[in-house]
């Protein structure tokens, strides 16, 4: 009797595969995603800046002005922070998603609810690891930033504002990322059901599903991302005279409305969608490839065992 194809359902990794497998694949996916798309992320941060709200006509204009006035390498300034943070953050992210999804599917069945809840749970662990790196890289991305390196930036924030500064935007980040990841994973899995119902390794379907999931989730959660940027950067022009810092989501929302009006909540929308589409496409493509590679290798080992 012919043995079943070990790659027929590569989504279900062999039972003897360690959770570190998901973590390793997730870490590589996160580093690739953030580093490749970092210049676009820098543009997004600039376009969400209250001080520069009317300076840029669009993402391309912002990128050209950054390079022409501040140097060719300006869009990648602070990339070391995400290189250090993205690996462990995405390791936790994918490992949590896979394990929680398996548990929930056993109770709820294969469907959007299980995938959305698993994605939301993954966001909690991802953001706990990634938030300090987000603070450092956004301080480095700001116009006329005085920090010469990520290390100096981290040290200065710790000394002047204390360790709590690295988690000032954490609950806002969660408020954004819990629905973002829930929507993201639901759309990704629904599109996989439509484009790749047999769940074979299919790079095209992973790219398209990832890009669409990222774009839709990014557009819906842009106002919260603008608030997160303000909480991370603490732009002086936005601070009230009686306050030393903008604290919490409600104050961030009021500050943005006071400075920029309703349209301020959607600053950088285009750049955010442009950033998230290829980011999530890259992330899912790299992650699914390593799942496929590991399953293939495991199947080959069993055949020769």
- Asked if the structure places residue 177 within a domain, the reply is yes
What are the two backbone dihedrals, phi and then psi, of residue 147, each rounded to the nearest 5 degrees? -80, 135
Position 234 scores a pLDDT of: 83
Position 214 scores a pLDDT of: 94
Position 305 scores a pLDDT of: 52
Q: How many structural domains comprise the chain?
A: 1
Cα 131 to Cα 18: distance, rounded to the nearest angstrom: 27
Cα 188 to Cα 288: distance, rounded to the nearest angstrom: 12
Which bin fits 17, alpha (ψ -120 to 50), beta or left (φ > 0)? Answer: beta
Cα 26 to Cα 291: distance, rounded to the nearest angstrom: 10
Cα 183 to Cα 177: distance, rounded to the nearest angstrom: 9
CB 184 within 8 A of CB 119: yes
- Asked if the structure places residue 299 within a domain, the reply is no
| Range 279-305 average pLDDT | 75
Task: Count CA within 13 A, CB hemisphere, residue 274.
Answer: 17
**Percentages of the chain per state (helix, strand, coil), in multiples of 5:** 75, 0, 25
Position 3 scores a pLDDT of: 41
Position 162 scores a pLDDT of: 94
CB 235 within 8 A of CB 49: yes
- Asked if the structure places residue 23 within a domain, the reply is yes
Give the global pTM. 0.76
Cβ count near 158 (within 10 Å) = 13
Position 42 scores a pLDDT of: 93
Position 304 scores a pLDDT of: 53
- pLDDT band at 4; cut points 50, 70, 90: very low
Cα 275 to Cα 254: distance, rounded to the nearest angstrom: 26
- Provide CB contacts within 8 A for 144, sequence distance 6+: none
Position 138 scores a pLDDT of: 93
- pLDDT band at 53; cut points 50, 70, 90: low
Average pLDDT, the chain: 85
| Range 207-227 average pLDDT | 93
Per-residue pLDDT at 56 exceeds 50: yes
Q: What is the total residue count of the chain?
A: 305
- pLDDT band at 8; cut points 50, 70, 90: very low
Position 151 scores a pLDDT of: 95
Position 110 scores a pLDDT of: 84
**Coil, strand or helix: which one is 185?**
helix
- pLDDT band at 2; cut points 50, 70, 90: very low
- pLDDT band at 177; cut points 50, 70, 90: confident
What percent of the chain stands above pLDDT 90? 44
Place of tokens 């209250």: 50
| Range 146-153 average pLDDT | 93
| Range 43-59 average pLDDT | 82
| Range 173-195 average pLDDT | 90
Burial of 192-219, coded b for 16+ CB within 10 Å and e otherwise, reads: beeebeeeebbeebbbbbbbbbbbbbbe
- Asked if the structure places residue 304 within a domain, the reply is no
**Coil, strand or helix: which one is 186?**
helix
- Asked if the structure places residue 97 within a domain, the reply is yes
Per-residue pLDDT at 55 exceeds 50: yes
Per-residue pLDDT at 29 exceeds 70: yes
Q: What ranges in 12-78 are assigned the alpha helix state H?
A: 19-36, 38-47, 59-70
Position 302 scores a pLDDT of: 52
Position 28 scores a pLDDT of: 87
- Asked if the structure places residue 134 within a domain, the reply is yes
What are the two backbone dihedrals, phi and then psi, of residue 268, each rounded to the nearest 5 degrees? 75, 15
- Asked if the structure places residue 286 within a domain, the reply is yes
Please tell me which residue, 200 or 304, carries the higher pLDDT value: 200
Give the residue from 247, 97, 108 showing the smallest Cα distance to 177. 97
Residues of the domain holding 259: 19-292
- Asked if the structure places residue 142 within a domain, the reply is yes
Q: What is the CATH number of the domain that holds 248?
A: 1.50.40.10
**Coil, strand or helix: which one is 189?**
helix
């Amino acid at each position: 009797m012919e043995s079943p194809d070990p790659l027929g359902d590569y989504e279900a990794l062999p039972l003897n595969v360690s959770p570190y497998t998901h973590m390793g694949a997730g870490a590589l996916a996160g580093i690739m995603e953030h580093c490749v798309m970092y210049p676009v992320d820098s543009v997004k941060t600039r376009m969400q800046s209250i001080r520069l709200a009317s300076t840029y006509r669009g993402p391309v204009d912002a990128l050209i002005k950054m390079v022409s006035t501040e140097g060719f390498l300006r869009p990648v300034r602070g990339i070391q922070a995400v290189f250090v943070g993205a690996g462990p953050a995405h390791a936790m992210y994918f490992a949590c998603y896979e394990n929680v999804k398996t548990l929930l599917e056993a109770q709820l069945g294969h469907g959007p609810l299980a995938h959305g809840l698993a994605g939301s749970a993954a966001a909690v662990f991802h953001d706990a690891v990634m938030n300090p790196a987000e603070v450092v890289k956004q301080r480095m991305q700001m116009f006329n930033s005085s920090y010469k390196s990520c290390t100096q930036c981290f040290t200065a924030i710790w000394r002047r504002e204390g360790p709590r500064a690295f988690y000032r935007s954490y609950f806002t980040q969660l408020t954004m990322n819990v629905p973002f990841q829930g929507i993201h994973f639901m759309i990704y899995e629904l599109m996989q059901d439509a484009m790749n119902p047999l769940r074979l390794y299919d790079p095209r379907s992973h790219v398209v599903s990832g890009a669409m999931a990222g774009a839709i989730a990014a557009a819906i959660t842009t106002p919260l991302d603008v608030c997160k940027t303000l909480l991370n950067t603490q732009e002086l022009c936005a601070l009230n005279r009686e306050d030393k810092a903008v604290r919490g989501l409600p104050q961030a929302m009021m500050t943005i409305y006071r400075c920029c009006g309703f349209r301020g909540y959607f600053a950088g929308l285009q750049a955010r969608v442009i950033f998230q589409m290829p980011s999530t496409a890259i992330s899912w493509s790299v992650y699914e490839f390593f799942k496929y590679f590991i399953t293939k290798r495991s199947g080959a080992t069993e055949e020769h065992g």
